């Protein structure tokens, strides 16, 4: 019995010290990049987005408690979208760190949660995690970010931790890590990272993971002298042939990847237009199709040359407003379009009647309440539009 208890204790300790790899496990990656993809979230109202993200992330943490990415996403989303949730998260992760002072995983999660609120304690926890588990990649990346800028900037510590991170994760495509590379006085490292990512991508077939090619191309062009960009464009062309062969029926995201690649490959305008036509045909309600349609409309409908030609601008705005109405119907995923149309409607004082202007502002307020992140500044802007024009809103009268 004593032997069995000892074995259980050893296994429990080993499990508590298990650290994730540089890339999240497939189930976690899928949930974060497919179930929580931008295209899926864009179809949901703001409250529905937040509920779905919380459901997925809490479920991942419960099922995979030693995968760090769901914790980081939970903290990031709270910090950016729901700051009122941060104190509870900080208390939870600080308590876990106190309960497991030798667990670098618990320490660095608490460090992440406390960053920008209790920065000295956050750094202390991050340094402790790095010391206790030098083989765990995330404390090094966390400290590199902390020491990269601001009052805590430290060139030596920044370089030491970033190099340590890429030594452990040489083919990392983590956006936050790649953003730090240009700050490092090491011209060779970005090229090494790009080469490692390219090697990793050579055997990749999953459509979602293939999206890393966009990151790879950007990194390669940044880390390669302009005199060698022609050879890079040829490489991008070869990549596109490979990508096209792996996915005969691209979705919106994959089309966006291919379009980005074709624009960097140096193909002729005729060939690029033909590919854009394919997107218009096969993904008629997607964001890439909207981008293409907007660009083509702008080329066909030039802005007035004179900034002071009010009649010309009013005619131009009226035409664009009509087009925006059509795009709103065609691209419901582009939830920002009603705001663009409202700005145009209000651009010239006196161009709109009070009734039409008030109705447009009230409609936008209702839209923003459902589809956008709550932001008092946005509603103050709407109120200012009414006050500046001495317009009266029925919403204001009802609430007053």
Summarize pLDDT for 196-217 with one digit per residue, the tens. Answer: 999 999 999 999 999 999 999 9
The confidence score (pLDDT) of residue 1 equals 47
Rounded to the nearest angstrom, the gap between the alpha carbon of residue 33 and the centroid of all alpha carbons in its chain is: 11
d(CA 259, CA 105): 39
* DSSP annotation string for 36-84: T-HHHHTTS-HHHHHHHHHHHHHHHHHH-TT-HHHHHHHHHHHHHH-GG
Alpha carbon distances (Å) from 384 to 16, 18, 388: 55, 55, 6
Mean pLDDT to the nearest integer, 51-70? 97
Q: Where are the domains positioned within the chain?
A: 202-210+225-302, 313-399
**pLDDT at residue 49, rounded to an integer:** 94
Burial class of 253 by CB neighbour count within 10 A (0 to 12, 13 to 18, 19+):
buried
pLDDT-derived band at 8 (thresholds 50, 70, 90) equals very low
User: What is 253-269 written as a DSSP string?
Assistant: HHHHHHHHHHHHHT--H
How many residues are there in the chain? 400
pLDDT in tens, 114-150: 998 999 999 999 999 999 999 999 999 999 999 999 8
**Per-residue b or e along 352-374, where b marks 16 or more CB atoms closer than 10 Å to that residue's CB:** beeeebbebbbebbebbeebeee
Mean predicted confidence (pLDDT) in 52-68: 97
pLDDT of 252 > 50? The answer is yes
The closest of 60, 67, 93 to 79, measured between CA atoms, is 93
Arithmetic mean of pLDDT, 246-270? 95
- When pLDDT is cut at 50, 70 and 90, the band that residue 154 belongs to is very high
* Best CA proximity match to 393, nearest among 367, 354, 366: 354
Which residues have CB under 8 Å from 369's CB, separation 6+? none
> Average pLDDT of 4-30?
67
Prediction pTM value: 0.84
**pLDDT value, residue 395:** 59
pLDDT over 70, % of the chain = 93
- Please compute Rg for the chain using Cα positions: 26
DSSP letter, residue 304? P
Query: How far is it, in rounded angstroms, from Cα 133 to Cα 378?
Result: 45
């Amino acid at each position: 019995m004593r032997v069995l208890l000892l074995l259980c204790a050893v296994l429990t300790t080993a499990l508590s010290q298990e650290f994730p790899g540089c890339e999240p496990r497939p189930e976690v990656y899928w949930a974060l990049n497919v179930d929580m993809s931008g295209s899926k979230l864009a179809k949901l109202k703001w409250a529905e987005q937040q509920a779905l993200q919380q459901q997925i992330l809490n479920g991942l943490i419960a099922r995979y408690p030693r995968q760090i990415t769901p914790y980081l996403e939970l903290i990031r989303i709270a910090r950016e979208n729901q700051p009122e949730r941060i104190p509870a998260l900080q208390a939870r992760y600080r308590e876990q760190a106190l309960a497991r002072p030798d667990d670098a995983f618990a320490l660095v999660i608490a460090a992440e949660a406390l960053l920008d609120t209790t920065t000295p304690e956050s750094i202390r926890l991050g340094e402790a995690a790095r010391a206790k588990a030098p083989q765990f990649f995330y404390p090094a990346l966390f400290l590199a970010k902390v020491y990269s800028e601001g009052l805590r900037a430290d060139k030596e510590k920044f370089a030491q931790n970033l190099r340590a991170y890429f030594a452990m994760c040489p083919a990392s495509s983590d956006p936050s890590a790649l953003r730090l590379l240009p700050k490092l006085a090491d011209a060779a490292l970005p090229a090494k990272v790009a080469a490692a990512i390219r090697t990793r991508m050579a055997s990749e077939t999953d459509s979602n993971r293939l999206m890393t090619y966009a990151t790879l191309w950007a990194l390669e062009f940044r880390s390669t002298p302009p005199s060698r960009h022609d050879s890079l464009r040829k490489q991008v062309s070869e990549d596109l042939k490979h990508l096209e062969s792996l996915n005969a029926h691209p979705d919106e995201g994959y089309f966006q990847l291919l379009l980005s690649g074709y624009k960097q490959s140096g193909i002729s305008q005729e060939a690029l237009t033909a590919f854009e036509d394919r997107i218009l045909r096969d993904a008629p309600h997607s964001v890439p199709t909207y981008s293409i349609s907007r660009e083509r409309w702008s080329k066909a409908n030039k802005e007035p040359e004179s900034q002071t030609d009010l009649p010309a601008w009013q005619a131009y705005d009226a035409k664009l407003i009509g087009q925006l109405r059509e795009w709103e119907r065609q691209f419901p995923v582009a939830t920002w379009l009603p705001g663009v149309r409202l700005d145009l409607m209000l651009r010239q004082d006196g161009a709109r009647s009070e009734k039409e202007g008030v109705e447009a502002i009230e409609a936008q307020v209702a839209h923003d309440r459902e589809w956008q992140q709550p932001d008092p500044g946005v509603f103050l802007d709407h109120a200012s539009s009414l006050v500046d024009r001495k317009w009266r809103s029925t919403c204001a009268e009802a609430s007053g």
